[in-house]
Structure 1
């Protein structure tokens, strides 16, 4: 039996925002030294929260009435000494400041320092490798920040850095979060050579790789889409993704591998039809069969695909897989597919209203499938266990 990946794979960092917090009234935080406790609030933030005349009156009376209800003005968080730190900080200073910001639980400052570290790395491969060395000794938010800075730098596409990240992702003895963050940093590559694609596939197929398998699959797909947009090339990636989609022991990895072309929608070749047809007809997991129906719909051979759908629909017993076949028949055949839909509806009365819906939409002159789909009433409750609607 295939195992399912559980939980969210990658952590999500908070974005830097100027209007994130309100300052507490009358309780300014104590000043801090920039190289010691970056992230503490500056007293200036409290002093500038009121206009000058109101503030003077408050000081004279000893009362702080504050702004009227509903007129409270949020102020950006400020860190005392940050400007001076920014000018003078070395690479090791930034590392210490990141550790301190994480310890203080200040995500905004941590994000700022991550971006600053990415700037400091720039295109310097040696600096990126130094930070990667630190990352291999880190964990939790600090690991994410250090790896994130490498991912945001241009040095991530240096062959030495990319090779080191892939090697880190391959380390079976390493913690899963370290492996995953290294593989995620490779998402920004413009292309992967065939050897790297094969190594990434091996991670994706590793039954013991846990979350790293999922992230390797996603990274492979994202680089494929980037390469496809730049050069029109996708076949080397898709060959391995299709293999993962066919043979992975993890249903979540299977689904992701089959889904990744959806983000660029390359038109698949006829030699892919056999594998996808087998998945549609025989895979034990209904969500994989749905995804196979989806993947078949972007084709150069619509008549072949319509024939596959017509063979699969009567043999399929699951309503949601039948619904996938039904609607992707429309995507492939357009208005000309209405007789096929009529045959489906005659076989399964649950789809009679869907047939009528599509007939009415096409009769009104709509032909583009995206617009056809926007005008379609949803009549089937089909949501995959991973939470992905189809």
Structure 2
């Protein structure tokens, strides 16, 4: 293996890291897959792809880039790194991160980020030091430190989580920095009612930009964690439903309604009433479709069918009507076929969909996932990011 210039640590504490051959261009953000929304906002927040049976629209992170392939750092490629590791401290790794960023060596930055996580461990004081560095540094360093903290157990210490929430609430900070702090909170096991309320306030703040979107996502991801651990979802869903119906930001509304998709709890009857109103009144096609998707998993399928029927006549967009049809089938299975036939009579463009579903259920198959695999697509309703619709 071709060796790289060695790492030298001066006795005075100044680390000069020399890396040259084989470096790749620094891409400017931490390795988070969809961590933060840029200040410019979102051109079209809902790239509609099939995230679940029935092709639900997906609320894309505003300005997010396509996920990159996995990067596996190979620390053995750097001469002297083993010796550096033996005496590594939080301060020495901090200095090494800055040097590696300057050298544009993303693989080394990724390795050093993991070392920061290890060094922090369950120590709240070390965790708070990362937050301090993040607040003082220029991009991309803040995201690196907060991503390292996110993976450390200390992030769940009350002092640390409170500090991160305070950073997220600080309107004097740039929106991406506030969003990075919220991203670091996503590995909490649960949120108290007070914390949920503070996050909801951020999500509903029209001036919060990236932080508003991230606050909704953070609520949803901790809801999934709490639901997995304890079966609790209702308090989080109530907050998300409020955000999804009152936020002025389309991307935030869409994401708030999407978040239960990752745990799929059975929605209660009261939620159906709220979502039915969203299907009838929201000005954005994507949000109306997402509300229909939410109604597909409910404890009262017949009430969901009634909501789809009530919304159908007032809806003029073919793609939203198609969403009402397919999610009605997902909610009630073969019991939805009379309603689907009614939709097809009212809108002949949906007739072939009715015939397809009728034929599929006639085979005796009842599982919707299998039904959906056999369903042909007749409508061009996938919206690419930024495309008009």
TM over 0.5: yes
Q: Which residue of 2 aligns with 1:138?
A: 137
Partner Cα separation in structure 2 for residue 76 and residue 93 of structure 1: 16
Structure-2 residue corresponding to 1:285: 284
Give me the whole-angstrom Cα distance separating, in 2, the residues matched to 1:118 and 1:102. 18
1:336 & 1:218 partners in 2: Cα distance?
Answer: 34
Shift in Å, 1:37 = 1.1
Q: Which residue of 1 aligns with 2:153?
A: 154
Higher mean alpha-carbon deviation, 188-197 vs 360-369, is at: 360-369
Is the 1:122–1:153 contact (alpha carbons within 8 Å) kept by the matching residues of 2? yes
The 5-angstrom pairing of residues 178-257 of structure 1 reads 178-257=177-256
Q: Secondary structure at the match of 1:190?
A: coil
Deviations 1:70-100 (A, max 9, x none): xxxxx98711210000001221111100000
Q: CA 1:83/1:103 → structure 2, altered by over 3 Å: closer, same or farther?
A: same
Superposed displacement of residue 303, structure 1: 1.2
> Whole-Å Cα distance in 1 between the matches of residues 241 and 104 of structure 2?
42
1:146-194 residue CA offsets vs partner (Å, 9 max, x unmatched): 1111101000000000000000000001011210110000000000000
Is residue 336 from structure 1 mapped to residue 335 from structure 2 by the alignment?
A: yes
Name which structure has the greater RCO, CA cutoff 8 Å, separation 6+: 2
Unaligned runs of 5+ in 1: 1-21, 43-74
Structure 2 residue aligned with 1:10: none
Within a 5 Å distance, the mapping from 1:85-96 to structure 2 comes to 85-96=84-95
What is the deviation of 1:33?
2.2
Q: Secondary structure at the match of 2:136?
A: coil
Counterpart in the other structure of 1:351: 350
C-alpha distance in structure 2 between counterparts of 1:311 and 1:382, whole Å: 22
Matches within 5 A, 1:8-87: 30-33=5-8, 35-37=15-17, 39-40=19-20, 78-87=77-86
Task: Show structure 2 runs of 5+ residues with no match.
Answer: 10-14, 23-73
Distance 1:235 1:302 in 2: 19
Larger radius of gyration: 1
Q: TM-score, normalised by structure 2?
A: 0.82
Q: TM-score, normalization: structure 1?
A: 0.81
Structure 1 distance, partners of 2:353, 2:201, is: 42
Give the Cα separation in 2 of the matches to 1:38 and 1:147.
Answer: 25
Between the aligned partners of 2:5 and 2:324, the Cα distance in structure 1 is 64
Which one is further off, 131-140 or 161-170? 131-140
Distance 1:139 1:379 in 2: 49
Q: Partner residue of 1:67? A: none
Distance 1:121 1:383 in 2: 44
8 Å contact kept, 1:156–1:162: yes
Aligned Cα root-mean-square deviation (Å): 1.9
Point out the more displaced range, 309-318 or 205-214. Answer: 309-318
Quick one: distance in 1 between partners of 2:324 and 2:7? 63
Structure 1, 379-388 or 304-313: larger mean CA deviation:
379-388
* Rounded Cα–Cα distance in structure 2 between residues aligned with 1:274 and 1:346: 26
Q: Distance in 1 between matches of 2:386 and 2:278?
A: 21
SS of the aligned residue for 2:235 comes to helix
* Matches of 2:385 and 2:247, distance apart in 1: 16
Instruction: Report the equivalent of 1:18.
Output: none
8 A contact 1:276–1:292 mirrored in 2: yes
Residue 29 of structure 1: CA displacement?
A: 5.2
Residues 313-336 of structure 1, C-alpha deviations (whole Å, 9 max, x = no match): 122111011001000111122112
Q: Could you tell me which residue of structure 2 aligns to residue 119 of structure 1?
A: 118
CA contact (8 A) 2:337 2:354 kept: yes
Name the CA shift for 1:86/1:30 in 2 (closer, same or farther; >3 Å): closer
